[in-house]
Amino acid sequence: MAAEPITTTVHIEAPPERVFEYFTRPQALLLWMGQHAVLDPTPGGEFTVDIRGVPVRGRYLEVEPPSRLLISWGHAGSDRLPPGASLLEVRLHPTAGGTTVTISHSGLPQPEATGHLLGWRQFLDQLAVVARGEVGLRPTAHGPIPLRRSTTVPVRVPLVTQARAVSLSSAEFVF
């Protein structure tokens, strides 16, 4: 049985056009969520992100730059939450000094809803930090770790599938 939709909101100190790219460009998405991404932000286009070892698979269903995205969402190989079983809606609303991002995730099975809500809150907080440009994030097997502002992280990232996919699993980091 599906839980009630979960919703969370964050204010980001960047214009909607810039924030929209964090949901549609693999290199930008991986700065705040995931270790590998293949994104084709067109209706019906692929949405593939590996987050902390979980293979999230779906499709962009609606793409309205720079204000809204509707994405099907699920986990490859899961019987409880298979690809396309839930819907993620991302709304971007311009505000003074930035953008309000609202995430609504519906169709999640009851056992998954709480974890997804906590996850979205954590990842949106990381997005807010990245979009401000205050710190970088160091990807690990368990998710990004904030770095001090003065830390430089040269990264070599292999590009795959027409520069729309990147993987940070083989990146090299220097601290």
Domain of 26 in residue numbering reads as 6-167
Contact criterion met (CB below 8 Å) for 34 and 144: no
The pTM score is 0.77
Domain total for the chain?
1
**Residue 174 maps to a domain:** no
Q: What digits encode the pLDDT tens for the residues 95-109?
A: 999 999 999 999 999
Quick one: which of 103, 141, 106 has its CA closest to 122? 103
User: Mean pLDDT across the stretch 47-55?
Assistant: 96
Average pLDDT, the chain: 83
Report yes or no on 122 lying in a domain: yes
CATH classification at residue 147: 3.30.530.20
In a domain, 145, yes or no: yes
Residue 152 has what pLDDT?
34
Q: Is residue 23 part of a domain?
A: yes
Q: Let me know if residue 172 belongs to a domain.
A: no
Per-residue pLDDT band at 133 (split at 50, 70, 90): confident
Q: What pLDDT band is residue 111 in, cutting at 50, 70 and 90?
A: confident
